[in-house]
């Protein structure tokens, strides 16, 4: 970004990007949905507790519930990726 906007210093650019990422992280931690038009959306999914299996021993293992972040690319991003050959 600093190269594209010559009036911004590297430190200004770094501060702006870090501020944006911190705000996105705070919103996701609070359980909010984030949509960036043309880019995609981020959401928090809840994964319930379940019983898994240790592949080496075959032993059953309890997997606790957890929240994960999901990213769904927007139409414009998918189109741009397809045009460039992925």
* Domain ranges within the chain, ordered by starting residue: 1-32, 35-86
**pLDDT at residue 9 greater than cutoff 90:** no
**pLDDT at residue 45 greater than cutoff 90:** yes
Please tell me the pTM assigned to this model.
0.71
Angle at 84 between CA 83 and CA 86, to 5 degrees: 105
Span 31-50, average pLDDT: 95
**pLDDT at residue 81 greater than cutoff 70:** yes
The 10s digit of each residue's pLDDT in 15-29 is: 999 999 999 999 999
Please tell me the CATH code under which domain 35-86 is placed.
4.10.520.10
Helix, strand, coil proportions of the chain in percent (round to 5)? 35, 30, 35
């Amino acid at each position: 970004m600093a190269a594209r906007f010559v009036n911004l210093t590297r430190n200004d650019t770094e501060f702006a990007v870090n501020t944006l990422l911190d705000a996105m992280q705070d919103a996701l931690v609070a359980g909010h949905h984030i949509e960036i038009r043309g880019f995609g959306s981020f959401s928090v999914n809840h994964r319930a507790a379940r019983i898994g299996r240790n592949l080496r021993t075959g032993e059953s293992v309890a997997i606790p519930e957890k929240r994960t972040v999901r990213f769904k690319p927007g139409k414009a991003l998918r189109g741009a990726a397809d045009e460039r050959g992925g």
